[in-house]
Structure 1
């Protein structure tokens, strides 16, 4: 019995037709395929297929054998891949985390800064909220993360790579959408969606901004990610203040407007664990400090 016998049998069983399997899956002549199936049945000693008005059907023995044939081929494929991996030299892993949504702006820039080193490493990418990114850096799961400055992690250092201004998000047919700019005092008349404790730096920036404008607004809802914010804006017809990068993810039902006057801002930084001795990290940080600029929006 050869592997091709198993592949041929599986193709016929899945297609339910010798002709279809031969022409579409195996690109071989139907008589040749029939001969291969007969050889397989002869070696096993029982019929695996029977002809019917609909083509071919599996016998009870064929149904049992099909599961084992699939398992055998899966094991062969897994063994082939394991052998190939073993033959390749292990590449160091450089794990990059992004504040959910920021990979749209910064993944290409990260690859550019790594340059030709990408050929010598395996770069992994994850998308999480800022506290989760901080935990990932502290535990060694991540090497760098595009995130907020997290105050409860003194073991981390940061390189600020951008200053983001906030915009107001609202339903696309909201009355405020007719304005080119929105006065923040309009928030007092609306269902306000604020940031949760998970998004601590963002929540603090918003609350400081509202206080500076003489507003004491208790949010009707609190969110910690863009998906929650968009959903609540659309479903409750509320409004929210979010960093401008959120505009990359607006559904048709949500729109944004700039704020009148000086909007609040928040830093975007590359965080890393101070004790991380990775030479790839050192190279990346060196290039970031020398060349890193906010990508064009």
Structure 2
């Protein structure tokens, strides 16, 4: 498997069309792109796309693979940019990390903020899951990240941006989808899918997302054991479609929804989880200081844009 296979796969997944991906994104021919995708599917050992008259759709395996493909491409880009920065240190460098799915919301404003004050810096973008971002912060791979308050190190500092509510994610044709809101009692006997409790954070403890879900269950005296656990949100959504299960997830996970999955609010007061800015306390970067000094402005801009979008 080569990086070009991953780039081709992500381009097709985003365009939902071999023809559009070949012509508009990859500057190649459709037959050549089809061969590359077939080679990748043979290497993976699973079908990643379902081909139809209107284009292509990701299979459940393809949706899971897409999350990991984006992470691998992002890490490869970070490695290349870091090496170039060391070899040719022409500009100060600043590395931003985003949870997958949150980059579309926060990246434009973060870039505007930095470009306004510091137009001559080199910016590197990384998209990963929250525990991976915490590890990258701790090891100096990135300067600042949009992530959860992961446990495990006093070397990291966090500043909360927003508290995100949870919703019930379920098959679009599930009987509970007919309700305007779903209670915990409604899902007690359903197939329950959760984020993995063994996906490593920097401390080896449960990720912040899993802890928030378990804490909410405990506070409401509910004993719901997950039937399936997955280490990424794309995998959770895929399992909802394939097992007809139900999950509790932050609303931003709607980014990953296929047509077969929908959401409903929880009855009563549901759980919330933070989206925070994290950074290493000992990071001496003057760019980091400028960025942190304008966080209130960034939060206000994103909130204003959200109101316009609604």
Per the normalisation by structure 2, the TM-score is 0.65
Note if contact 2:240-2:246 (Cα within 8 Å) is conserved in structure 1: yes
Q: How does 1:187-226 map to 2 (within 5 A)?
A: 187-197=187-197, 198=199, 200-226=207-233
Superposed CA deviations along residues 101-142 of structure 1, whole A, max 9, x for unmatched, are 110211112113224245311111111111111111111110
Aligned to 1:90: 90
Q: How does 1:45-84 map to 2 (within 5 A)?
A: none
Q: Structure 1 residues 264, 161: CA separation in 2 closer, same or farther (over 3 Å shift)? A: same
Aligned to 1:256: 263
1:238 and 2:238 equivalent? no
Superposed CA deviations along residues 224-274 of structure 1, whole A, max 9, x for unmatched, are 211101110011010100001011221111111110100100011000001
Whole-angstrom CA distance in 1 between matches of 2:296 and 2:151: 22
Whole-angstrom CA distance in 1 between matches of 2:181 and 2:236: 20
1:276 and 2:261 equivalent? no
Whole-angstrom CA distance in 1 between matches of 2:298 and 2:164: 19
SS at match of 2:283: coil
Whole-angstrom CA distance in 1 between matches of 2:216 and 2:210: 10
Q: Which runs of 5+ in 1 are unaligned?
A: 1-84
SS at match of 1:127: strand
Q: Which runs of 5+ in 2 are unaligned?
A: 1-84, 200-205
Whole-angstrom CA distance in 2 between matches of 1:291 and 1:164: 17
1:287 and 2:302 equivalent? no
SS at match of 1:124: strand
Aligned to 1:172: 172
Whole-angstrom CA distance in 2 between matches of 1:143 and 1:290: 19
Aligned to 2:106: 106
Aligned to 1:184: 184
Query: Matched residue pairs, number?
Result: 211
Aligned to 1:52: none
Deviation (angstroms), 1:89: 7.4
Note if contact 1:111-1:118 (Cα within 8 Å) is conserved in structure 2: no
Whole-angstrom CA distance in 2 between matches of 1:291 and 1:101: 18
CA RMSD of aligned residues (A): 1.8
Whole-angstrom CA distance in 1 between matches of 2:151 and 2:187: 29
Note if contact 1:134-1:153 (Cα within 8 Å) is conserved in structure 2: no
Whole-angstrom CA distance in 1 between matches of 2:168 and 2:181: 9
Superposed CA deviations along residues 173-207 of structure 1, whole A, max 9, x for unmatched, are 11111111111111112100012122621111111
Note if contact 1:95-1:142 (Cα within 8 Å) is conserved in structure 2: yes
Note if contact 2:110-2:298 (Cα within 8 Å) is conserved in structure 1: no
